Amino acid sequence: DGGITQSPKYLFRKEGQNVTLSCEQNLNHDAMYWYRQDPGQGLRLIYYSQIVNDFQKGDIAEGYSVSREKKESFPLTVASAQKNPTAFYLCASSYFRTGGVTDTQYFGPGTRLTVL
Partner 1 sequence: GQNIDQPTEMTATEGAIVQINCTYQTSGFNGLFWYQQHAGEAPTFLSYNVLDGLEEKGRFSSFLSRSKGYSYLLLKELQMKDSASYLCAVRGADKLIFGTGTRLQVFP
List contacts with partner 1 (CB under 8 A).
33, 35, 40-45, 48, 50, 56, 58, 88, 90, 100-101, 103-110, 112
Distance in Å, CB of 105 to partner 1, minimum: 6
- Helix (H) or strand (E) run with residue 65 in it: strand 64-66
What DSSP state is assigned to residue 81?
A: T
Distance in Å, CB of 42 to partner 1, minimum: 4
What torsion, rounded to 10 degrees, do the Cα atoms 13, 57, 59, 24 define? Answer: -50
Scored b (16 or more CB within 10 A) or e, 50-80 reads: eeeeebeebeebeebbbebeebbebbbebee
Count of all residues that appear for the chain in the document = 116
Report the residue number, 35 or 74, with the smaller CB distance to partner 1. Answer: 35
Distance in Å, CB of 14 to partner 1, minimum: 23
Report the residue number, 13 or 112, with the smaller CB distance to partner 1. Answer: 112
Distance in Å, CB of 19 to partner 1, minimum: 20
Report the residue number, 82 or 93, with the smaller CB distance to partner 1. Answer: 93
